[in-house]
Amino acid sequence: MSTVTDSCDVCIVGAGLAGMNALFVAAQYTSRDQRIILIDRRERLGGMWVDTYPYVRLHQPHPMFTAGDIRWTLDRDRDRGRGYLATQPEILDHFEHCLDVIRQHATVEVLLGCEMESDTEADGVVRLTCRTADGRRRVITTPRLIKASGFAVTPNDPLEIRSDAVHSVSPDFCDMSAGEIGASDAPVWVIGGGKTGMDTCHALIASQPGREVNLVAGSGTFFLNRDRAFPAGARRWWSGTMPSASGAQMLSRFDGTNEREAGDWFRNAHGTWPTAAADSYVLGIMSEGESRAIAAGLSHVVMDRFVDVVDGQGSPLMRMGSGATRPVTPGSWIVNCTGYVLQDDMPYEPFISPGGCVLSIQPRSATMHLTSFMAYFMTHMLFLGKLADTPVYELDAVELRRKSKLALPFGLLVVAQYNLSVMYDELPTRVFLECGLNVDRWYPLLRQMMGSVRFVTTHRRDRASAKRTLDTLRERFDLRCGPLAPTT
């Protein structure tokens, strides 16, 4: 098999939201005669959005789901302020649009269906080995590699279930409103109370009113209340709490030891949830209307952990983590809506390699709460040569999730708060002003400015307390959490 050898000035692996933000920033530091290569193993741009379940919608306002500050072309933009939730095809179109805009001033070659298999760094040069869709090897050398595997979301398989008397399906391969499950009227059991579980319940309840839809919700998940975080229309002038303000309130109550108490406060002040109890928060957003519709449409909600369905006498039995069992109607559908993000098998990698040529954007060395923000800010830090000397903290979010799901959102938000403050002293102000990911942009400029003034006047004081909180998390959970260890 032939090997193609190539070189470029910047190589970015991953064309999801993280990779597109890295590309947006890299394009600002490269001239037209320099070459950027963008690689993804998927067949089109968009990362997880290429193959997520078809009824998925953004749960946040779409203008702030972008690369850098690229504006959407969606007609619904005219509807800006009313809270339209973009669909999967609209999101994928926006990824294409972002590439078109970036290409107006940068030379970008895109290699889709191409998997990076390995990378090695020596003397300021990185050598990547990739496998193209037709099975050929491609070797690329570059002085800068950005590995933007980000959340690395992959479709979920159906749950493995011992009983043959029920159907086990995954929403990624089985549209709730079409095909066999849509044609059947047998009960559905949605397993998982997070964003996918809620979308699935909502899709089923809306498309088939009267069908028995049940939820196994674990300890329950709560969501940021969209009506309060993103009030519609003119109400943006006087009502709602900007996400930066609610986040700051939440963090001011958290000291690294009291996630349950601080989480309860945040849920009651800013959350919404459709189940009887709700402990976890995974940065999801939901409206009160959705929450009410789901709560009203569900037949049974089980606050327990799903284990299996086994054949019982008479009818199949669902086994729960608590040891309880409950009968299930034969022919029921079991839909796997358990989590996609922060999977345990993701290997650790520092956010910057010892040689300084490889930036890695992924949650094992998280520097922000979301990979899009990490890619945007850390790519600026890379190109400005600031990563070697700035004490940016990394947080192993996968490890924290394993040790405490309740502390996870706090860990992510506090590391973002700390690093934003550190980077504010290092990066030009324009980097902050041009960050179109900032969801406070939902609000009128005057209110945004008030939020910015609050940040500028308080961030150094808050940085000290954020550092104490992160250090407490590190000691308490024996976590990788702190500045990168010096290399010798």
Task: List interacting residues with ligand FAD (CB under 6 A).
Answer: 13-19, 39-42, 47-48, 52, 56, 58-60, 65, 115-116, 148-153, 195-196, 340-341, 370-372
Phi-psi domain of 10 (left: phi exceeds 0; alpha: psi -120 through 50; beta: other): beta
Q: Which residue is nearest to ligand FAD (CB)?
A: 150
CA distance 428 to 380: 10
Which is closer to ligand FAD, CB of 17 or CB of 328?
17
Which is closer to ligand FAD, CB of 369 or CB of 459?
369
Q: Which amino acid is at 426?
A: E
What is the closest distance, in whole angstroms, from the C-beta atom of residue 112 to ligand FAD in the complex?
9
CA distance 192 to 189: 9
Contact criterion met (CB below 8 Å) for 80 and 63: yes
What is the closest distance, in whole angstroms, from the C-beta atom of residue 110 to ligand FAD in the complex?
12
What is the closest distance, in whole angstroms, from the C-beta atom of residue 102 to ligand FAD in the complex?
15
Which is closer to ligand FAD, CB of 14 or CB of 187?
14
Which is closer to ligand FAD, CB of 61 or CB of 231?
61
Phi-psi domain of 259 (left: phi exceeds 0; alpha: psi -120 through 50; beta: other): alpha
What is the closest distance, in whole angstroms, from the C-beta atom of residue 132 to ligand FAD in the complex?
11
What is the closest distance, in whole angstroms, from the C-beta atom of residue 94 to ligand FAD in the complex?
11
Backbone angles phi and psi of 347, in degrees to 5: -75, 150
Which is closer to ligand FAD, CB of 154 or CB of 252?
154
CA distance 227 to 230: 5
Which is closer to ligand FAD, CB of 111 or CB of 328?
111
- Cα–Cα distances in Å, from 397 out to 282, 325, 362, 468? 12, 33, 9, 18
**Which of 24, 44, 45 is closest to 106 using CA atoms?**
24
Which is closer to ligand FAD, CB of 148 or CB of 318?
148
CA distance 186 to 163: 16
What is the closest distance, in whole angstroms, from the C-beta atom of residue 314 to ligand FAD in the complex?
36
What is the closest distance, in whole angstroms, from the C-beta atom of residue 115 to ligand FAD in the complex?
4
Q: Where does 348-407 have alpha helices with state H?
A: 371-383, 397-403
Query: Reduced to 3 states, what is the DSSP secondary structure of residue 237?
Result: helix
Backbone angles phi and psi of 320, in degrees to 5: -110, 160
What is the closest distance, in whole angstroms, from the C-beta atom of residue 57 to ligand FAD in the complex?
7
User: Where is 3: in which H helix or E strand?
Assistant: strand 3-7
Which is closer to ligand FAD, CB of 195 or CB of 405?
195
What is the closest distance, in whole angstroms, from the C-beta atom of residue 349 to ligand FAD in the complex?
12
CA 69 to chain centre: 18
**Which of 371, 377, 374 is closest to 430 using CA atoms?**
377
Beta-bridged to residue 271, according to DSSP, are: 224
Neighbours of 252 (CB within 10 A): 11
Which is closer to ligand FAD, CB of 91 or CB of 106?
91
What is the closest distance, in whole angstroms, from the C-beta atom of residue 61 to ligand FAD in the complex?
9
The count of C-alpha atoms lying within 13 angstroms of the C-alpha of 318, restricted to the half-sphere facing its C-beta, is: 24
Which is closer to ligand FAD, CB of 23 or CB of 381?
23
